[in-house]
Structure 1
Amino acid sequence: MNNRKTIYLIRHCEAEGQNADAELTANGRKQAVELADFLTDKEIQFILSSTYLRAYDSIKPLAERLHLSVHKEERLIERKLSDKKLDDWLFLLEKTFTNLDIVYEGGESSRQAMERGVAVVKECLLRKETTFAIVTHGNLLSLMWKYFDQAVGFKEWRDLSNPDVFQMNFELDKIIVNRLWRDKT
């Protein structure tokens, strides 16, 4: 493994909904171009995206600009809280940030989602490339971030924007995570 790696962990742009085939809004398409402008000079060499359309379409302008393929990765899809309609879903979601093993009917725990997302990060660290863009969804992104910073919780998830960008620098045994997009806007 190269001793230095950088991963840009990205939340997708504004979308029409939560389904896998939800498209970006008109504003979301504009944001995708702004995201490409923001990331163009970051020397990204490899792009991974959730298989959901809104994630793929969020990074497509950058991929085209850099002449890179977007590698679709099923493990980057959004975390499913439950397959049932939950009227109190926000309260139930908040609980999953303090107890990572809670599983609601038909859903996955925070720990399960975190592990699949972090597995993608760990695989990137073993690749020859040094700079990556990983596009995912808010809940999964916050859980991946939490893996590297235990202080991350429900509040940080609530504060995410569409899009959002975090820079994760890996050097030897040191990991530094900085939120970039909030500072940009």
Structure 2
Amino acid sequence: MMTNLYFVRHAHSVYSPDERNRPLSERGHQDAARVAELLEPEYIHVLISSPYKRAVQTIEGLAERIGAGIILEEDFRERLLSEHPVDDFEHAVAKVWEDSSFAWEGGESNQAAQSRGVRALERVLEQYKGNNIAIGTHGNIMVLIMSHFDPRFDFSFWRQLDMPDIYKLSFSDQDLVEVQRIWN
């Protein structure tokens, strides 16, 4: 019995230092409508999201279309890169991908963030076995989780993601069988 997870990287958002409440931009709302169109035919049974507003807003349209609520899962939130804003975001992210145990002051290492995300994913696989599940999340944590199962999902893969982006991960129990990109 296959379980299909549809990781939905959030759509474009309006920048704000308030990570939790940063909303989608106008373009982001338009793309979120496209996310709903693409995922409605996938027979999604369960919707789960990071508690961050932009992740929730990206899958809200799908929730409305299928008449389902969205379960918030704190552990699908984006990785905390640093306690304070960084001067060079690209450099800061590259550094944590180069050394998986490295963390900027007050931030999470790749190891810590990946461990958190994988634990959440394993709970979802166990609780919703055999279902199709959409998960509203963020690029870095999504790729960290994916890289746990397959190392080809790395920093360079993260850099080429779209916003939004959708990847279908098919599991047999806890084993990843196939990954397919849905967003086009």
Deviations 1:58-96 (A, max 9, x none): 100000110111001111111111112322332231122
Residue type of the alignment partner of 2:47: I
What is the distance in 1 between the residues matched to 2:128 and 2:81?
A: 35
Q: Which residue of 2 aligns with 1:43?
A: 43
TM-score by length of structure 1 reads 0.91
Q: Which residue of 2 aligns with 1:146?
A: 147
Q: Which residue of 2 aligns with 1:178?
A: 180
RMSD, matched Cα: 1.4
Unaligned stretches of 5+ in structure 2?
Answer: none
Matches within 5 A, 1:56-75: 56-75=56-75
**Shift of residue 174 of structure 1?**
4.7
Give the SS at the match of 2:169.
strand
**Shift of residue 98 of structure 1?**
3.1
Whether the aligned pair in 1 keeps the contact of 2:55 and 2:138 (CA below 8 Å) is: yes
Moved more, 124-133 or 172-181: 172-181
1:17 and 2:15 aligned: yes
Residue type of the alignment partner of 1:179: R
TM-score by length of structure 2 reads 0.92
Q: Which residue of 2 aligns with 1:94?
A: 94
What is the distance in 1 between the residues matched to 2:50 and 2:94?
A: 23
What is the distance in 2 between the residues matched to 1:174 and 1:157?
A: 19
What is the distance in 2 between the residues matched to 1:88 and 1:139?
A: 16
What is the distance in 2 between the residues matched to 1:12 and 1:158?
A: 15
Moved over 4 A (4+): none
